[in-house]
Amino acid sequence: MSLAHLLLRHAQLTPERIAIFNGVELHATYGQWAARSAALAQRLQAAGLVPGDRLVLFMRNHPRYLEILWAAWWAGLVVVPVNAKLHVHEVEWIIGNAQARWAFVTADVAPETLGGLERQIDVESPDADALLEPLTHTAVPAPAERQPEDIAWLFYTSGTTGRPKGVMLTHRNLMTMGLTYFVDVDPVSPVDAIVYGAPMSHGAGIYAIPHLMAGARHVVPASGGVDPAELFALGRALGPLSTFAAPTIVKRLVDHAEEVGLSPQDAAQSFKTIVYGGAPMYAADIARALRVMGPRFVQIYGQGETPMVGTALSREQLSDTGHPRYQERMASVGVAQTPVQLRVSDEHGVDLPVGEIGEVLIKGDSVMAGYWRNPDATAAAIRDGWLFTGDVGCLDADGYLTLKDRSKDLIISGGSNIYPREVEEVLLTAPGVVEAAVVGASDSEWGEVVVAFVVAQPGASVNAHSLDQHCLEHIARFKRPKRYVLVDSLPKNNYGKVLKTELRRRLSGPQNESTA
């Protein structure tokens, strides 16, 4: 049994049911979706790809994303979803590390041939049309047999070493996530629809699984991105939509609703449920969202290592304004989802009393199999079945988790993870730079923005423009600093370690340094 059987089931039961929209235009029924995915799977196998081989998806949101994703699973392959905002050099590193053989791309994010592949296919090309053409005069072939512990999704998440780590997610992991959605996040029925505004390479994409389980509709905006006016219009045209959004996107939706004067009742015509997560949500922002758009929000907390499954704060909990601890609960990330256990421990893995701050640990069938080709990182992250998340928080007496900080200096900007070490390594290769330290600064729109403190060589001409150009040549645009601060030296402890707490303090206090 694999994830491909979910699609086969609905193709057999309700082949005429509408499945995928491209904007408001019908793209596929469930029968057509399965026929295209099965045909592509057979052609992938005929080309020599075998179960367990890796296939990269480097695309903007596109209706064919779903068809290719399920085709890969139909053929028993491992999907490697790549953030469409990554630099080509970063993508090629992932291709090499994953030992991927094929890639499907859109030309806008992959304007050149990627290195290290046997074949690269533009999903809007005649080649893609031919590969997805349903088979004629033959029955739909059965999906390749896979075991629950076989890898289905190899998700690369940034690491403190400056190189991403490949999170190995199994069919069991993703099945668990899908079933959990119905219990802890939101019930789904065949009349529902999910819209993919956030990147399908991340949490939004794997939320296709519970909606496929229910036989619901899948809507890809014609723009391929997040245009609040477009999303509200799609909801009015196709019925109230569900979606996953980082707090940045939630804010944009709320801003639009307020700007055009929509009431909560108007908003209900466009949106059934907005699940948010992936970055800190300020209490004031969710309070405003509830006031403007009404009770259609659910918060989840998870990681790539336990996809979308950690805690949940339900719409009922977010709406329970009469509870004596409502404000504290609204600032939390909710309670453990059904299939996992949750602990807060000290550095030795010993449980801490209620209210004390420590590292968040998670255990259950959603937790990854490990990191791809990285046994040391796996051993550090999973101990006795518990995932050491690196996130810091505390539990209250009712089991509500409140996150206090993130270890490893992770910056989350607009829902995207950015690790300072990766940016620092690039800055240190810039002409005239001798030291660099990167931290996150609070931002009302993005949650956090990247700020770089830079020490230049005496007499060197270093400025924001030159540093920006250098970063754009080596890393994704979204990772580059939004601000550069030139300093004579970086604050360090007796062991020479940069004191990033001091740098963050400087950002919140008077500015004495020059800004590049």
- pLDDT tens-digit map of 281-326: 878 889 999 999 999 999 999 999 999 999 999 999 999 999 999 9
State how far the Cα of 408 lies from the Cα of 401, in Å rounded to an integer: 20
Which stretches within 28-163 are classed as H helix? 30-46, 63-74, 88-98, 126-132
Judge if 338-407 and 419-515 fold alike in CATH terms.
no
Of 78-82, 385-389, 499-503, the poorest mean pLDDT is in 499-503
Which stretches within 214-362 are classed as H helix? 228-238, 247-259, 264-270, 283-293, 315-319, 326-330
Of 187-196, 209-218, 367-376, 410-419, the poorest mean pLDDT is in 410-419
State how far the Cα of 428 lies from the Cα of 15, in Å rounded to an integer: 56
Tokens of 99: 């030992």
Tokens of 62: 């596109």
> What pairs with residue 343 in β-bridges?
361
H/E element holding 57? strand 54-58
Q: Which of 178-182, 402-406, 461-465 holds the top average pLDDT?
A: 178-182
User: Which class is domain 1-16+28-146?
Assistant: alpha beta
Q: What is the pLDDT of residue 511?
A: 52
Domain 338-407 sits in which CATH superfamily?
Luciferase; Domain 3 (2.30.38.10)
Tens-place pLDDT, residues 133-158: 999 877 788 999 999 999 999 999 86
Tokens of 165: 């780590």
pLDDT of residue 367 exceeding 70, the answer is: yes
What is the 3-state secondary structure of 163-226? CCEEEEEEHHHHHHHHHHHHHHHCCCCCCCEEECCCCCCCHHHHCHHHHHHCCCEEEECCCCCC
pLDDT, average across residues 163-176: 96
**Domain boundaries along the sequence of the chain:** 1-16+28-146, 338-407, 419-515
Tens-place pLDDT, residues 185-203: 999 999 999 999 999 999 9
Q: What is the pLDDT of residue 513?
A: 54
Q: Is 56 helix (H, G, I), strand (E, B) or coil?
A: strand
| Beta strands 78-81 and 54-58, pairing class | parallel
CATH architecture of 419-515: 2-Layer Sandwich (3.30)
Please state the pTM of the whole predicted model: 0.86
Q: What is the pLDDT of residue 494?
A: 47
Q: Cα-flanking dihedrals φ and ψ of residue 105, to 5°?
A: -135, 165
pLDDT of residue 496 exceeding 80, the answer is: no
State how far the Cα of 213 lies from the Cα of 24, in Å rounded to an integer: 22
Contact partners, residue 471, CB within 8 Å, separation at least 6: 423, 426, 427, 430, 479, 480, 481
Q: What is the pLDDT of residue 495?
A: 42
